Amino acid sequence: MLELITYTSSKSSTRDAIDIPEYHQVYVNKKSIRMSEHYQSMATGLRPELSFEVLAIEYNGEQEIRYNNKHYKVIRVFEKDRRITELICQGLVNKGSGQ
């Protein structure tokens, strides 16, 4: 299971703009990164780490996920068919596990 992350803009008590994360848990099928995907991404400076299959009706264009308490950026989305969407993800350095 992973969490899709969306952000809602708000204001802090000091009126600073802040983004509040909202987490939506979904069931996924974790897959290995294919060698062709790995080399194609490396050529463009990306480092794919994880691949997931998620039900297409549950994915709404989120650009970040949390899996095993680690944050990842979605670097590629592939619609396999009308039911399944594949997400290729790369780890984010600046996100802590406490979020």
Q: Say if pTM beats, i.e. exceeds, 0.85.
A: no
Coil, helix or strand at residue 7: strand
CA 68/CA 40 separation, integer angstroms = 26
Within 10 A of 66 (CB to CB), how many other CB atoms are there? 19
* Per-residue tokens: 46: 């990306």
Higher pLDDT: 41 or 69? It is 69
Task: Give me the chain's average pLDDT, please.
Answer: 86
pLDDT digits (tens, 9 = 90+) for 52-71: 999 999 999 999 999 999 99
